Structure 1
């Protein structure tokens, strides 16, 4: 009965999405003919709110099915097991194709309902067009779920036991990583709907940008957190010692983030300075297009990856049709209406707007590089030519655009709006440049470092200083929260860049065969293999190595890397173990036993690698501060406008 309730709620939500689309279209048509939206417009907001509640109810029913391990439901039987810990039973609800798509649709519906319930700043005609676009997007995903990927499908006969979730996904990091990314993707779908609504009604205004900006900021924060969590999960769970592999599925999350970063800066300029109108609309379309492209790559079956869910070409074809409809339709709308979007306020190249435009171009170029590198192997495979595209392509080619972008990012916030000159900030530029040069020379003298990590260390030093320069000469307690958000986010980029460059420049690796009681060294650590013993968990057994790691004969650090065997489903995994200090991590993996009684150990010393994820958290914190600051500013602005209107009314009376 639970499954049937969830499915019924999903069908009703789909019907309301259709009503939302049709009613909005009728209201806009009525407005075009008579100058009034008509009575039908009154049904749109309640339909959007009800749709969100029904979709939320449907997803709660799916969670319930996983919590009780209802093995009569196909999705539960193929992705759960009665012996799994509860957290992984629940995460199994979205650790698969159908459940993750239901989560996507649920968040999208709830976001649409929230817009309909609380947003009153835009003209009602623009809101109707926005809700029509949101209904159109949601309807396609409902059709995909109900016709191709029903999460509530029953089995003819209940299974005796579940097959279990992929053991690599039975990790606390993967319990939160996918939902976080989906929140980001859905935030971009809302930005897309706002962009379409503004285009349809030709209302690309600063007020439109102020309404859209919190959604873009929120999407960007969630994407940043999702990518950061996913990177750390891959680093410690896969046992390869790396934090980014340029895997196509990783790129599928990076591309929307790059587009969202450009959109975030563009929409902020439009909100504050009434410029970059066409840029903002176009980036809104591109950002959601990248989300859709990532969905296609992960769920079409054309990729093989630990987190590529679907392998059904029929589903891939369905998503490809949606991709063509959404991207093609929005680009056609942009082509037809872009001419009616005025240019907005002008600005000089030497201005903060100019710096933001330059960096948007660099971000767009980087996005194109990643997109090409991701799709090219898939295109060549059609002609039976297998090509591998990895770090030798992405790192140097991407650096061509990323390095100038970081340099401009260091000085851009120091420039004034509209018009400025670099001479005014020559002192600050000289200080930042000198620090970069000193860092470059010191790093080159201390170690034999490749050119890209060397440049990364120098840029990180300069950017760290430059991120705080906008605070100079200002009383700290009076700095707006949104400005603090920019400072923290830019400093987070410097911190993450320092971690990336340090990991690449200074990592030491040791592969050794060690007998029990034997030792080996890596970096500052001496590592001793004390014992190897079998251990068991709730749904696995393992061989556990017991290691003691010391620095200069100091106190021992106990490490317990494992080689696990899961039985539901059967799979071997490597469980690495980390010893974290302020200046780096010792990373240990245990392998198989050799014939002479020795055990394979793979050890890394990774200086400052944790700064990569500290930086990601700081970037996200900066985004949260920016949201708080912008909402605060908007509330003050609306309060001021209300007070002004009240005074005028009193004077008129």
Structure 2
């Protein structure tokens, strides 16, 4: 009965979405205040029924209701309760239900937190969110219902959750990623509402900016968590593989980063309006494209959910409607967008524009490398693989150039900056960055490899340019501490995010070049020494888990001859699926990780063992965390609420 209630609740949520998409929009076009007032109650109703549907599916998992097909395919009585709960979004149907729940949550948040906005604007924004919701509710109900029953009989045991997904990373990674994906629907809705209303001034950028920053922060965190999960769960010790599904999340992040900066320029200077609207459309469109790639079956990935072409066709049609309709509206209204001011060839606006272009070009490069093999295959021209050499050869130089302009943009002035002034501001940070980069690289490795040195120099460049800007803000103030406290949250959010970029660059440079790996056959008593560590293999023992059995390696680690730690990598057999999985043992550290994974068993009690030394790999995720905190801090700036109030007045 409970699954049926979940299905009915989803149908009612669709009805609320249809009303939300039509009634407030008609009211806004006619100036009917009563009809526009329906937007907020309809948003609440849509969210509540979606939440109830999600709770019904969660109960079916916790109750081991294997009469529900989706539960039977993704759970098992031996599965721990917390993995049963996360299995709700461990497959295609449930992950889509999580998607629409988050979309309904974003819609409700906009309805509650935007009470100071003009009534016609918020009515149009929520109506656009309603139109997007209709597409996903229909997708679930027509092609991907998670409440389908086995009739007349049903299995007594489930097939179990994919062992790759039986991990803490699955509990937190998809919700964070979806919060970012779906959050760009808010920026999209504000852009479309501005086009529909003809109010293409800087006000809509002020209204949209905090929502976009929050969405960007969540997407950043989701990508970082995905990288962390891939690092320790897949057993390979890698953190980014240029996998098509990884690319699907990177593309909206690149355009979203450009959008965050473009919104700042539109808000402060009244320029880039057309460009900002276009970025908002593309950011959400790329989120939908990622959904198509993951769920259509057109690609193979450890991250992919579904392989049903009908589902892929539905999303493809939806993608065409969203992109096509948005671009048609943009073409009709773009002529009304006029800049409110001008700027010189050398100014903060122009430097931010260059970085925006570099981000969009990088996204286009990733998009081409991701979908070109699919196009070649669809045309019957054979199989083509585009791998890391292509992406690294293009992406790394583009991002390096972007970091140069990032440092210059921080200290430049709005409207016009003289070349002399820019040189005066940047010569010292540039010189110190080169010296510190070379010294740090030499002290770490005893050599100056070009790409590592460049990465460290660029990281110092970003940090020192930020410090120079902070010095400029404080040098005329007598009370330095008071000056620090008077800086806005959005400013410190920018500083924190840029610091995160620098930390990330250091991690990428060092772990990519200086990682070390040993693959060897070890039997009890064998040792391996490298990087001041000695690994002693003491054999293995059998371990029984809740839904698996495991061969657990026993490896003692000595540091410079003294006992340091014990590491226990595992080779697990998940009994329900018959799947064999590698669980790596990791000794984490601020400046390095020790990473040990078991391969296949050999004769005489020996095992194939992979031992890796990963320098500064934790800095990758520390950088992502700092960027996330920076985005959230910037979005919390109280000036946004004051500006909304003044705009409404």
Q: Which bracket does the TM-score occupy, shorter chain normalised?
A: over 0.9
Question: Which residue among 347, 368, 371 is the counterpart of 2:367?
Answer: 371
1:327-342 alignment runs, 5 A limit: 327-342=323-338
Distance 1:39 1:511 in 2: 71
User: Which residue of 2 is the match for residue 648 of structure 1?
Assistant: none
Question: Which residue among 623, 631, 634 is the counterpart of 1:623?
Answer: 631
Relative distance call for 1:38 and 1:211 in structure 2 (3 A) is closer
Distance 2:137 2:605 in 1: 57
What CA RMSD, in Å, does the superposition of the two structures yield over aligned residues?
A: 1.8
Distance 2:618 2:37 in 1: 52
Distance 1:203 1:187 in 2: 22
Deviation at 1:200, TM superposition (A): 0.9
Deviations 1:116-155 (A, max 9, x none): 3342333322222222211111101111000110111111
Work out whether residues 256 and 283 of structure 2, in 8 Å CA contact, stay in contact via their aligned partners in 1. Answer: yes
1:562 aligns with 2:586: no
**Could you tell which deviates more after superposition, 507-516 or 20-29?**
20-29
Deviation at 1:363, TM superposition (A): 0.3
Question: Which residue among 89, 93, 99 is the counterpart of 1:94?
Answer: 89
Deviations 1:608-642 (A, max 9, x none): 1111111111111111111122xx11334467789
User: Which residue of 1 is the match for residue 226 of structure 2?
Assistant: 230
User: Which residue of 2 is the match for residue 521 of structure 1?
Assistant: 529
**Structure 1 residue matching 2:89: 3-state secondary structure:** coil
Distance 2:310 2:450 in 1: 46
Question: Which residue among 60, 67, 75 is the counterpart of 1:72?
Answer: 67
User: Which residue of 2 is the match for residue 430 of structure 1?
Assistant: 427
Distance 1:459 1:198 in 2: 38
1:299 aligns with 2:307: no
1:330-369 alignment runs, 5 A limit: 330-369=326-365
Distance 1:125 1:41 in 2: 7
Distance 2:114 2:437 in 1: 50
Deviation at 1:451, TM superposition (A): 3.8
**Structure 2 residue matching 1:146: 3-state secondary structure:** helix
Relative distance call for 1:92 and 1:600 in structure 2 (3 A) is same
1:414 aligns with 2:411: yes
User: Which residue of 2 is the match for residue 491 of structure 1?
Assistant: 499
User: Which residue of 2 is the match for residue 458 of structure 1?
Assistant: 457
Q: How many residues align?
A: 636
1:396 aligns with 2:403: no
**Structure 1 residue matching 2:72: 3-state secondary structure:** helix
User: Which residue of 1 is the match for residue 479 of structure 2?
Assistant: none
Distance 1:603 1:107 in 2: 40
Work out whether residues 277 and 344 of structure 1, in 8 Å CA contact, stay in contact via their aligned partners in 2. Answer: no
Work out whether residues 411 and 466 of structure 2, in 8 Å CA contact, stay in contact via their aligned partners in 1. Answer: no
Gap runs ≥5 in structure 2: 475-482
Gap runs ≥5 in structure 1: 646-653
Work out whether residues 522 and 604 of structure 1, in 8 Å CA contact, stay in contact via their aligned partners in 2. Answer: no
Deviation at 1:100, TM superposition (A): 0.7
Distance 1:313 1:25 in 2: 34
Deviations 1:27-86 (A, max 9, x none): 244x2xxxx325433333322221111111111111111111111111111111111111
**Structure 2 residue matching 1:472: 3-state secondary structure:** helix
Distance 1:375 1:638 in 2: 41
Work out whether residues 522 and 603 of structure 1, in 8 Å CA contact, stay in contact via their aligned partners in 2. Answer: no
User: Which residue of 2 is the match for residue 116 of structure 1?
Assistant: 111
Deviations 1:581-623 (A, max 9, x none): 3321111111122224422110111111111111111111111
User: Which residue of 1 is the match for residue 2 of structure 2?
Assistant: 2
User: Which residue of 1 is the match for residue 617 of structure 2?
Assistant: 609
Distance 1:522 1:178 in 2: 37
Distance 1:347 1:384 in 2: 48
**Structure 1 residue matching 2:208: 3-state secondary structure:** helix
1:105 aligns with 2:104: no
Work out whether residues 549 and 572 of structure 2, in 8 Å CA contact, stay in contact via their aligned partners in 1. Answer: yes
Distance 1:199 1:565 in 2: 56
Distance 1:199 1:43 in 2: 22
Work out whether residues 508 and 522 of structure 1, in 8 Å CA contact, stay in contact via their aligned partners in 2. Answer: no
**Structure 2 residue matching 1:72: 3-state secondary structure:** coil
Distance 2:2 2:432 in 1: 63
1:575 aligns with 2:570: no
Deviations 1:454-506 (A, max 9, x none): 32222122223223332215232222221111111101100011001000121
Deviations 1:148-169 (A, max 9, x none): 1011111112321111110000
User: Which residue of 1 is the match for residue 480 of structure 2?
Assistant: none
User: Which residue of 2 is the match for residue 142 of structure 1?
Assistant: 137
Deviation at 1:204, TM superposition (A): 2.0
User: Which residue of 1 is the match for residue 238 of structure 2?
Assistant: 242
Relative distance call for 1:534 and 1:408 in structure 2 (3 A) is same
Deviations 1:162-197 (A, max 9, x none): 111100000001111011111111110111111111
1:316 aligns with 2:316: no
Question: Which residue among 620, 624, 641 is the counterpart of 1:635?
Answer: 641
TM normalised by structure 2 equals: 0.95
Deviation at 1:230, TM superposition (A): 0.3
Work out whether residues 454 and 505 of structure 1, in 8 Å CA contact, stay in contact via their aligned partners in 2. Answer: no
Distance 2:110 2:623 in 1: 32
**Could you tell which deviates more after superposition, 542-551 or 430-439?**
430-439
User: Which residue of 1 is the match for residue 154 of structure 2?
Assistant: 158
